Amino acid sequence: MNSKEYYKKKTEGFITFWETKRDHKLKYALLQSVYYAIPFSIVFQALENTSGFLTLQFGFKLLAIFCIYFLLSFYVSFNIYERKYQKLKKRGSEF
C-alpha cells in the first residue's frame, strides 16, 4: 500500500465517521463529555482521597469536569472536525 492509498483510506474513514456524528451536535458533545468526565474525576479523586467517592466533593469534581469538557467539545472540537470534514468533502476524490 503506497502513501496515496493510505491517505485516501484514512480520509474515507474520517468522512464516514464524521457523517454519523455531525447531525447530532448536542448528543456528540454530551457523549464526549461523559466519556471524559467519569474517568478523570475518578482519577483526580483517587489521587486526593481514596475514600471519598460518594461525597459531594466528588460530585462537584464530576460536574465541573463534565461542564468544562462539554463546552470545549460543543464549541471547539465539533467546529474543528466540521471544518476538516467540509474541506475534505470540497476536495472530493483528489487523491
Listing DSSP states for 48-94 in one string gives: H-TT-TTSHHHHHHHHHHHHHHHHHIIIIIHHHHHHHHHHHHHH-S-
Question: Do 95 and 54 meet the contact criterion of CB atoms below 8 Å apart?
Answer: no
Q: What is the pTM of this model?
A: 0.76
Instruction: Using alpha carbons only, give the angle 6, 94, 91 rounded to the nearest 5 degrees.
Output: 115
Residues of the chain with pLDDT under 50: none
The domain limits of the chain are 26-91
Nearest CA-CA partner of 78 in 25, 33, 32, 16: 25
What does the pLDDT look like over 24-33, one tens digit per residue? 889 999 999 9
Amino acid 31: pLDDT: 92
| List of E strands, 5-52 | none
